[in-house]
Structure 1
């Protein structure tokens, strides 16, 4: 993960601004989704419904948008673009979910139906061609499809530079194709430019705001356009993802109270918007961010309450996102608290209702926590089994053309291998493995599906170096981790302990103070007591 220095006070000041006027926001909130004026070549009777369906598409409410487009297609048989809309809901360019063979076939059929009916305008023909570029060639891999779709939208944008809908889809395509580009920041900058251009003309357009936030959800851009962030929920106050999306920025700033407040609202809204017969994956998505933020605040009881509520539910949407968070939350709760007995007891591939064969990276989270828990307890056979599982999941991801997922898994495998080496008495090798994990992390961005790593490599390296009485090096590792993952409970605590061990009481006081400022006033526990005692003595 590339490093960026964040100035929290300045960010909060920027976030307090709202670019959409109060009148615009109020009017948009009345629709519940924001304002889209697609101007589809269908009858006026379905025009408003079509705009709402496109708005849901921009909010990434894909299942709900699909149902809306299907209703339009059933009501008006000659509305070709309704079938384009159905196809658009079958792939999610920024999500880790991949369409199945059946979904790809359904998309091709929907687009052929649109062609058979006939589209009337050049702009609609350009959008239809972009969707067809994604669905053509049944044997193409995901990233080839995304590249073809992005190229088609680039042409569409060049030919229709003033078209708002083409503009926002073009912005989305830049962000999507940039995920595997060598210069990701340049692609995100172009996506932000295109989204901002639409936002300036239409401040309550949901796609413009949503994709602008995604464009800035990388280290190099985390401080950009902060005045726009809050406007998203203003225009769509009951849309789960609109209530969640600003926290992609807040989590990068270590602004835990905001992460908690917004995701509480998002989780509640998600339960009001099921995905057919399933609990929407927007619910566990918000809940994982909640668990993460509560843990950084030292609110373990509240984190446990969220986790228990999530695990008590059944019937989750069988998607990558559901799988990821249902695996991440139990693992996160154990690892963040360094409860190694609990971590070692985690059972991968639960709950069984999730089709785990499709989701290597989510499954890897469980093996990572299980392996770390075993390693810390000296159960090296179980730890090595977990490492072998991680290696297999890494290889399967690589074979599937998902090198990004493979790298995330490899970072965790290196962390686990380092802890196994430490327990096996190979300290130099352990340090080298954790440094290798940190170096690999430097090449990766935080994926938007996750609020943060289970165990940041430099945080783990700092703890290891502190165990080895290398306090000066440990402090540098914690400082580096703080630059990437600001405001983490364990990073601040580790930095304070390392500074104290190095005899630098001034720096120790600084980090203990930051820990106490970050955590909730009612937080307790031995680490908080340690910080309070240290501050009293220094």
Structure 2
């Protein structure tokens, strides 16, 4: 996960900088949205500073860093210029939020801002003081830093109720501490309560729309994020991340044509600028959307494009995840179990990605009548789960444990132990239900709850199967497999 997010940050800002340069070269005005963040530095740096904040809000971190460095070059005494540079190294809705390899640089810039703060306005000093909590010295865990920053930004927002940026940065600080296991979405709802009225008042602000999408990226809240998803790409088309991000909401709502449109644009932009990770990320979302809308030929075409890509760095999580998941999605969704049984783990990929290939092979073996061989793959998944847990990767260890239970369930079904199969798959579904998905993926290859419906159908239990499919569709509307299963269960009753 760490590698993916770090590369995503770098690639997005490189693409954004290239896109901005391309637009300048061709005389096309850059469009990043409207941001107004008054500072007390030399008046000549106000517009460049606002541009830097707009880029920051669209996660164009490298380009934002260049903008803030330009501010400091023109006005060396501008404390907020250093604040901006330090903020570039804080990635609030990703993991890790404070990448270890850039933390020292961010801390140095935060300290530079603090040294220069005496000549800043009282309002600016509160931003700098909050930043200091994020980059405080000592042996402080990252989660403690982001929580301290959130608490400090709560004070900034409270004391400056008419300062739009104070409210926006507080909202995204809340999101930085949202737990993947909190199904009440408490932090997200706090952020939405701040951002919703701001979106109505400032419909062209890039951060408001962007963070609303992140706050609403769950089955419960996705509908509330739809207006922002419809708007964000038009607000900041010069920031490639704005082309992809709306598809997070479209995917949650089963709006496949919208997701396809969004990711075609994102894939094209990434490909044109050599952003391999961004290209693959959009392609994975494309394959998912094509499969759910019955456009299997288009999905295979995207996978064909993947196969022509050479020199992929499979040690990078984001690249490895998308490159591994795409063909597996198509094989498993099509139920080509003999083919699934031959899938080999990708060489050099992170353990959490290897697990997906092991799962697919185990599933293929179990569902093509080879339960003992499937159990061997499940045992490999147990080992990967333990490895991830030991390394401290609780999220992906949990997900790998779910995959292991799914393979064990289908192996039990193939061995004729129907009760054990249902118990194992029910456990997998309940565990998967307790955690949210990461932004790296449009969703599980096949949700456990949907597989539970398939299993119950195979056991000629249409009533319980129908209930499982209906629940699966509330969590992931429009999924083709669950819709087919629902129809089959109704016909069997």
Once the two structures are TM-superposed, the CA of residue 206 in structure 1 deviates from its matched residue by 0.3
**Hey, what's the Cα distance between the residues in 2 that align with 1:318 and 1:36?**
38
**Hey, what's the Cα distance between the residues in 2 that align with 1:135 and 1:395?**
32
**Hey, what's the Cα distance between the residues in 2 that align with 1:134 and 1:273?**
33
2:308 corresponding residue in structure 1: 312
Once the two structures are TM-superposed, the CA of residue 377 in structure 1 deviates from its matched residue by 3.4
* SS of residue paired to 1:170: helix
Once the two structures are TM-superposed, the CA of residue 292 in structure 1 deviates from its matched residue by 0.2
Once the two structures are TM-superposed, the CA of residue 433 in structure 1 deviates from its matched residue by 0.6
Change (3 A) 1:381 1:175: same
Cα offsets for 1:290-334 (capped at 9, x unmatched):
110101122222112212323433466975443432332232222
Q: TM-score, normalised by structure 1?
A: 0.78
Pick the aligned partner of 2:345 from 317, 333, 348.
348
**Hey, what's the Cα distance between the residues in 1 that align with 2:158 and 2:70?**
32
1:300 corresponding residue in structure 2: 296
Pick the aligned partner of 2:278 from 269, 279, 282.
282
Once the two structures are TM-superposed, the CA of residue 440 in structure 1 deviates from its matched residue by 1.5
Change (3 A) 1:78 1:339: farther
1:404 corresponding residue in structure 2: 395
In the alignment, is residue 149 of structure 1 matched against residue 149 of structure 2? yes
2:356 corresponding residue in structure 1: 365
Are the equivalent residues in 2 in contact too, given 1:344–1:372 (CA < 8 A)? yes
Pick the aligned partner of 1:458 from 449, 452, 456.
449
* SS of residue paired to 1:178: coil
Once the two structures are TM-superposed, the CA of residue 78 in structure 1 deviates from its matched residue by 3.1
User: How many residues were matched structurally?
Assistant: 464
**Hey, what's the Cα distance between the residues in 2 that align with 1:204 and 1:485?**
30
1:187 corresponding residue in structure 2: 187
Cα offsets for 1:202-223 (capped at 9, x unmatched):
2211001111122222222222
Cα offsets for 1:76-133 (capped at 9, x unmatched):
4333333322322223221235544322222222222323343612333332333332
Matches within 5 A, 1:84-483: 84-97=83-96, 99-118=98-117, 120-136=120-136, 139-180=139-180, 182=182, 184-224=184-224, 226-273=226-273, 279=275, 281-313=277-309, 314=311, 320-350=317-347, 352=348, 356-357=349-350, 360-380=351-371, 383-399=374-390, 401-483=392-474
**Hey, what's the Cα distance between the residues in 1 that align with 2:456 and 2:97?**
40
Are the equivalent residues in 2 in contact too, given 1:372–1:419 (CA < 8 A)? yes
Change (3 A) 1:233 1:371: same
**Hey, what's the Cα distance between the residues in 2 that align with 1:385 and 1:247?**
37
* SS of residue paired to 1:223: helix
2:23 corresponding residue in structure 1: none
Q: RMSD over aligned Cα, in angstroms? A: 2.8
**Hey, what's the Cα distance between the residues in 1 that align with 2:146 and 2:217?**
19
**Hey, what's the Cα distance between the residues in 2 that align with 1:58 and 1:231?**
15
Are the equivalent residues in 1 in contact too, given 2:117–2:125 (CA < 8 A)? no
Once the two structures are TM-superposed, the CA of residue 429 in structure 1 deviates from its matched residue by 1.0
Are the equivalent residues in 2 in contact too, given 1:78–1:117 (CA < 8 A)? yes
Per mean C-alpha deviation after superposition, the further-off stretch among 491-500 and 63-72 is 63-72
1:82 corresponding residue in structure 2: 81
What residue ranges of structure 1 are gaps of 5+ in the alignment? 1-28, 503-538
* SS of residue paired to 1:231: helix
What residue ranges of structure 2 are gaps of 5+ in the alignment? 1-27
* SS of residue paired to 1:281: helix
**Hey, what's the Cα distance between the residues in 2 that align with 1:269 and 1:342?**
33
**Hey, what's the Cα distance between the residues in 2 that align with 1:122 and 1:323?**
47
**Hey, what's the Cα distance between the residues in 1 that align with 2:361 and 2:492?**
30
